[in-house]
């Protein structure tokens, strides 16, 4: 190849590379219309993200409210159950005191009829036991008294053998079946 040809090829190669660089640069650079579209799309995405964040915050708030309500409900149910258990135990004690033959029979009493005061104490326990005893007297033993019988005291009139006459002593021995 001649020098001229080589220089023409070199110039043409350089021109081709320059054209390619311009084309590549133009392809990489967005047009003003594309920039507007991208900005509009970004704004729409920000609005959508904001809406989703608000929905998430609302859902979390709703969840926390429902959770707090459920916790309060469970706490109330647990307290009611504990009150009921204490009341049933108190009923068993009252029924046993009233002479109920078997404390397990307290389960025959309607526990829903138990009333509580503001402090959570049972108000009508004795009335429930009395009504149960009236309706099922065969389940109760005879009422035991709590009084204790007095021990008989020794007869103060008894004399000592040294204070008795011979006749009194013989009569005493005979009355006891003792030999003379």
Whether the per-residue pLDDT at 82 is higher than 60: the answer is yes
Q: Where are the domains of the chain?
A: 29-139
* Rounded mean pLDDT, 133-145: 79
Does 40 score more than 60 pLDDT? yes
Query: pLDDT, tens digit, for every residue of 167-177?
Result: 988 888 888 88
* Residues 54, 58, 63, 68, Cα dihedral to 10°: 130
100 CB contacts (<8 Å, ≥6 apart)?
Answer: 106, 133, 139, 140, 141
- Residue 87 pLDDT more than 80? yes
Of these ranges, 66-70, 101-105, 128-132, the one predicted with the greatest mean pLDDT is: 66-70
Alpha carbon distance 180, 175 (integer Å):
11
- Give me the helix-helix angle, 32-97 and 125-135, nearest 10°: 60
Model pTM greater than 0.75?
Answer: no
CA distance 122 to 94: 12
Per the CB < 8 A criterion, the answer to whether 129 and 135 are in contact is: no
């Amino acid at each position: 190849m001649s020098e001229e040809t080589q220089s023409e090829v070199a110039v043409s190669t350089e021109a081709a590379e320059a054209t390619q660089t311009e084309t590549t640069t133009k392809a990489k650079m967005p047009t003003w219309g594309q920039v507007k579209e991208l900005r509009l799309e970004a704004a729409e995405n920000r609005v959508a993200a904001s809406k989703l964040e608000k929905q998430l915050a609302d859902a979390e708030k709703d969840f926390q409210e429902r959770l707090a309500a459920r916790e309060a409900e469970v706490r109330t149910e647990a307290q009611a159950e504990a009150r009921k258990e204490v009341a049933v135990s108190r009923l068993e004690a009252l029924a046993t005191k009233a002479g109920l033959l078997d404390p397990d029979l307290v389960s025959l009493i309607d526990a829903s009829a138990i009333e509580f005061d503001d402090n959570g104490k049972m108000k009508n326990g004795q009335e429930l036991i009395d009504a149960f005893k009236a309706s099922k007297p065969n389940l109760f033993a005879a009422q035991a008294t709590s009084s204790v019988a007095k021990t008989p005291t020794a007869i103060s009139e008894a004399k000592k053998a040294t204070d008795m006459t011979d006749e009194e002593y013989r009569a005493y021995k005979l009355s006891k079946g003792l030999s003379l």
